[in-house]
Amino acid sequence: MEMAVAAPPEQSRIRGGLGLMRSVQQRTDPTTAVQAVRRGMISAAVLWQLLWILAQPGLWPGAQSGPFATAAMWAVLGFAAVLLLSHALAREWVSARVARADAVVLLVATLVVNASQLRGGVPDWHRVAELAALTCGIAGLVLPFRWAVVSTAAMTGLLLRDVLLPDWSGVFHASVDSLVEPVYVMAVGLSAAVAARVLVAQAGAADGAADALLRAERERRSAERVEQEMRATERRLHETVLNTLVALARGGLAPSMSDRLRERSLEGARLLSSLRGRGPAIESRSSVVETDRVEPYDLLHDLQPSLDDLREVGIEVSISVDGPIRAPRYVQDALRTAATEALINVGRHAEASRVSLRVASGGGSEPVAVEVRVRDDGRGLPDVLPETRFGLTDIITAPMVDVGGTAEVVSRSGKGTEVILGWRPGFEACEAREDSLDPAPAALAVPVLAALAVYAAVMVAGSWDSAERPVVNGLAFGILIALGLLVGLASRRGRLALWVVFVVALGGWAVYVLAESPLPESASIAWASPAIAGLFLVAAAIGPPWGWLLLLAAWLIFQGDPLHEITQPGTAMILVGALLGRSLRRNARVAWRHRQEEADAATAGQVVRERIEGIGARFHALALSEAPELLRDVAEGRCDPEDDRVRARAAREERFIRNVMRTDPSTDAVHEMACELICLAHQQGVLLDLDLSAPRQPEVSVEGSIVGSLTRVMRQALPTVIVAGLPVGSPARLSTRQEGESVMLRLLVPMAVDARPGSGADGSVVGSLVDPADAAGQLWLWEASLRGEELP
């Protein structure tokens, strides 16, 4: 009997608390440019709030007049700490909601501090203005645009009311300095709100562009990978099936090759069974993803069977290997395929006495350049190779080209052959760049600089009459505007160059020296420091990664007291700008990596689907092949490889599979018709040569009457007699040639002497007897002309 025991209440609460903590700590990185921008702005808001309050003792809780103002500032600090923790640990939606609550707390705290100043004698409008500017700035970064504008309008209106209307006791407190504060608050709030809105809008556009870019990239990569997979399937067919069938058809196999022959026969049978849908899938989605992984690879281990075959026939083998290859798996497969085929060609065709294998590869954990050389001292290659030969060119060169590598065959008749395979990372440059989601620097620079220009213009105009040197003051303003234009124009080209940051640092020092000259106390309006700090904020955010250090050093030096200034608001603004720029770029990179991972997963799935569909369409004719059964019988010892019937079957199956590999029914009507004739010839026992040398032309159509005529002709063809693995007489042949504006289709077939060829075709196909005494039978040639709408 089982009993359910309930956990104690304390233990249940502990579990619940731990579960809540785990759920809160499951932080999610941004996956879109919009999320990256919002997260970056929250990071800047946290640092801005903490540094702003730390840099101004007048905003500390202990400096407030009245318990309500003190409590309000403690609440501001408390929410800043909560925002910092939530931003560091929690999910995005949690920190976004905490940030909005923090903006509301700042707004309430500003109202409370303002009320305490009105009741406390001579008010400190600068303290209220600094808190109001912080409130508007944070609201602009974390609140929706319309609420940020409302918050800025409310704070600006509050300060205007303070300086233009009497307090509760009927006393006016307006002064020249106090009139600056509303303009200052409005400039900070509007610049933050507009910059945030532009950044989010630009991020949304970047998301759309990135989606389109990745979608196109996914389609391109899928098409390339599917094409690579199709070619790899052809290479595996050639390596395992065709080579084995050719060896069986030729006969004369050495007894020492029996074990290797059985192994290859079994491998070929499995491959054909999988292609015919009667065996396990060759590749799954996970294996597609795995092909991109970089792992150490011992090429020599995979080449050892081919090297052993060369030693068995008396060829001296020398090997030099630097170390394991570090390349993606699909590159490893290509190197193995190409190098194996090069060694096979040495054993079969080169008539060599020596062969050398050299493998050169760098070290480390990243993909590195690879070079593989196979050199023999044989007879070399002929100067001209048949175009239809599925051999050295296709099997060695194609796999390397498919993966972005190189394959070079250097050969001179009588002086041997050298095959040079190469691959290095970077050949496959992704069209989509990592900076696709980076926010445009101009999106941040233009709104902030525009607000600073308005603020500085109002301040200079307001102090013109009272300034001791108005012309010098105007010159400082002109330099500031020139610096702003420089930064704004440079930002349209991307991140600021280091020389631009250097010019801004020197120009800021000049503005400060000119504008901060001694003035009468009553007319002193220090507009330069806030304006320069804002300019430095922008330059730090959109400049080079460490350019903010140059700006910070310049700021501390020309302020005159670095130890004191390091805790002042100007320093805080530069640090906020540096963090904002870094956070935006970092979050954009994280979002881009997420996008790429999603695109890779989607590409893998799409490759698998399209590959299954493509193989089904391309190799469906292999369902007629008896090669899997033949190879399995050889592998399991149920038949003698030297038997003439086995050799004849091997020759027929090799020719049929080779013809299937040369046709693609999906490309044009000619290949579709050729595939039908190939299948019919195989069923009729006819050995068919295939030469489709005419360029593939989807616009060319084959009339049904032509297909029907050639089908009837093929049904009358004599089966091919094969002796010792070779056909007797001339085999049947299907060929296409481009002749002028037409494609000529020719079918050469051996027929019985008493056959009635005229009954096999209608007027669309013309037949003629070309050799009545061929060993295979009477040779008849049938011709048809195919025309397209846009033939070259």
Q: Which string of DSSP letters, residue by residue, matches 502-567?
A: HHHHHHHHHHHHHHTS---GGG----HHHHHHHHHHHHHHHS-TTHHHHHHHHHHHHHS-HHHHTT
- Say if residue 673 is in the same domain as residue 773: yes
CB-based burial label for 364 (10 Å; 0-12, 13-18, 19+) = exposed
Do the Cβ atoms of 297 and 359 come closer than 8 Å?
no
Helix 33-55 and helix 569-618: axis angle, to 10°?
170
Do the Cβ atoms of 79 and 102 come closer than 8 Å?
yes
- Say if residue 445 is in the same domain as residue 425: no
Give the residue from 164, 157, 151 showing the smallest Cα distance to 190.
151
DSSP-derived letter for residue 721 is P
Residue-level pLDDT at 588: 77
Residue-level pLDDT at 519: 44
- Say if residue 478 is in the same domain as residue 566: yes
- Say if residue 39 is in the same domain as residue 140: yes
Residue-level pLDDT at 607: 63
80 Cβ contact partners less than 8 Å away, ≥ 6 residues apart: 46, 49, 50, 53, 102
Residue-level pLDDT at 754: 75
Q: Is 548 within a domain?
A: yes
Q: Is 330 within a domain?
A: yes
Residue 751 tokens, joined: 């027929």
**pLDDT tens across 445-476, in order?**
888 888 778 878 877 877 776 667 788 888 98
- Say if residue 450 is in the same domain as residue 407: no
Residue-level pLDDT at 609: 66
Residue-level pLDDT at 383: 56
Helix 125-142 and helix 33-55: axis angle, to 10°?
170
- CATH code of the domain containing 710: 3.30.565
Residue-level pLDDT at 680: 92
Give the residue from 570, 595, 620 where a domain finishes. Answer: 595
- Say if residue 439 is in the same domain as residue 414: no
Q: Please tell me the distance from the alpha carbon of residue 489 to that of residue 492, in angstroms, as a whole number.
A: 5
- Domain with 464, as residue range(s), is 24-214+434-595
Q: Is 222 within a domain?
A: no
- Say if residue 540 is in the same domain as residue 484: yes
Do the Cβ atoms of 390 and 662 come closer than 8 Å?
yes
| Strand positions, DSSP E, 660-701 | 688-692
For 37-106, the three-class secondary structure string (H helix, E strand, C coil) is HHHHHHHHHHHHHHHHHHHCHHHCHHHCCCHHHHHHHHHHHHHHHHHHHHHHHCCHHHHHHHHHHHHHHH
Residue with tokens 């038949």: 639
- Say if residue 419 is in the same domain as residue 442: no
Q: Is 97 within a domain?
A: yes
The CA-based angle 246-251-255, given to 5 degrees, is 115
Give the residue from 432, 464, 499 where a domain finishes. Answer: 432
Give the residue from 91, 180, 192 showing the smallest Cα distance to 144.
192
Residue-level pLDDT at 106: 94
Q: Is 600 within a domain?
A: no
Q: Name the pTM for this structure.
A: 0.56
Q: Which string of DSSP letters, residue by residue, matches 141-195?
A: HHS-HHHHHHHHHHHHHHHHHHHHS--TTS-----HHHHHHHHHHHHHHHHHHHH
Give the residue from 550, 544, 542 showing the smallest Cα distance to 580.
542
Give the residue from 470, 459, 456 showing the smallest Cα distance to 535.
456
**pLDDT tens across 60-77, in order?**
898 888 899 999 999 999
Q: Is 622 within a domain?
A: no
Residue with tokens 């192994």: 263
Q: What is the mean pLDDT of each run of 10 residues along the chain (792 residues)?
A: 40 45 50 82 85 85 89 92 82 84 94 84 80 91 93 92 71 62 87 87 79 72 70 77 85 66 82 65 43 70 86 88 78 84 80 88 63 87 49 68 81 82 62 52 79 80 73 88 91 88 92 67 60 89 89 86 73 85 79 72 65 73 88 87 88 90 84 90 91 71 84 90 87 86 86 67 74 88 73 36
In three-state secondary structure terms, 81 is helix
Give the residue from 454, 524, 457, 539 showing the smallest Cα distance to 490.
539
Paired strand residues for 774: 777
- Say if residue 493 is in the same domain as residue 403: no
- CATH code of the domain containing 324: 3.30.565.10
Q: Is 408 within a domain?
A: yes
What distance, in Å, lies between the first and last C-alpha atoms of the chain?
87
- Say if residue 199 is in the same domain as residue 116: yes
Give the DSSP H/E element, type plus range, for residue 280: none
Residue-level pLDDT at 21: 41
- Say if residue 46 is in the same domain as residue 192: yes
Give the residue from 568, 595, 622 where a domain finishes. Answer: 595
Pairing of β 732-739 and β 688-692: parallel
Q: Is 245 within a domain?
A: no
Dihedral, CA of residue 614, residue 617, residue 621 and residue 624, to nearest 10: 90
- Say if residue 426 is in the same domain as residue 438: no
Tally the domains of the chain.
3
